[in-house]
Homo-oligomer: A and B are copies of this chain.
């Protein structure tokens, strides 16, 4: 099955304790699309400025990402973000953000996208996320991401969104902020009470937690020493997860667990280099090899 994603496309400038890269490909929808492309066809909706090279679009096209929904506004500039990671490689500071053309983004779905069965609303203003939902026709599964800004400043609209989607993916700190619960299990359950069927809490280097009404799944992050740039880890996690689910067209508990594992594994590759660089080097078969390694690193009898 195909998978729709709506979100940001950006140029990132990233500084880590040892290296820096300027104006590399970034953005939630970009990371998500690339990560999902190992599993299924992706319909991408986003906006870029005149400074976005056609070669970047081609990079996505080459990976089975449909860019019919990618709008280029020649008179404006692409969204850009500049950030710096602290020595622990888990916390970061945003040094500069210019929304540019993304600031007035009002996504319009091409006709060919409207019946996409699997939908991911990457982090964005809840009102915009809902406008996307208004355009899709009876999707099978809708999952959204969000962030502290919307929880703090657009709470009502976010709560409205939660009643219209199946699953929410968010960071542990955001779940605490949204629900007021310090304990993560309690926070996850409180998110369910807001109307979603399941919630995935991302804990960065500490893994993830999945909670639904009748299942709970905890998984650590893939143990890796090779962390070069964590940017896009959450989006590539979501991309791997949703891509797998769309590919098997099954949302049973067993499939969701495997989906979370694949999300973890794509993210584990993504952080091994800047931008999409590591993901560009690997294939689905690499993920399958790491799947078995991960199983053996967490398995006990």
Contact = CB atoms under 8 A, between A and B. Distances in A.
A218 B223 contact: yes
B300 A185 contact: no
B183 A227 contact: yes
A87 interface: yes
A207 to B, nearest CB: 6
A298 B217 contact: yes
A256 to B, nearest CB: 10
A220 B205 contact: no
Given A203-B206, A207-B206, A220-B218, A225 B185 contact: yes
Interface in A216-262: 216-221, 223-225, 227, 254, 257-258, 260-261
Q: How many copies does the complex hold?
A: 2
Contacts of A209: 223
A297 interface: yes
Contacts of A206: 203, 206-207, 220
A295 interface: yes
A186 interface: yes
A216 B221 CA distance: 13
Nearest to A183: B225
A285 interface: no
Contacts of A298: 217-219, 298
A68 interface: no
Given A89-B183, A182-B89, A183-B227, A300 B219 contact: yes
A184 interface: yes
A268 to B, nearest CB: 12
Contacts of A258: 300-301
Nearest to A17: B182
Interface in A243-301: 254, 257-258, 260-261, 295, 297-301
Interface string A149-185: 0000000000000000000000000000000001111
A220 B223 contact: no
Interface in A180-222: 182-186, 189, 203, 205-207, 209, 216-221
Which one of A88, A205, A224, A298 has the greatest number of beta carbons of chain B within 10 Å?
Answer: A298
A217 B297 contact: yes
Interface of A: 87-89, 182-186, 189, 203, 205-207, 209, 216-221, 223-225, 227, 254, 257-258, 260-261, 295, 297-301
Given A89-B183, A183-B225, A218-B220, 6 more contacts: A88-B182, A206-B220, A217-B297, A218-B297, A219-B220, A260-B300
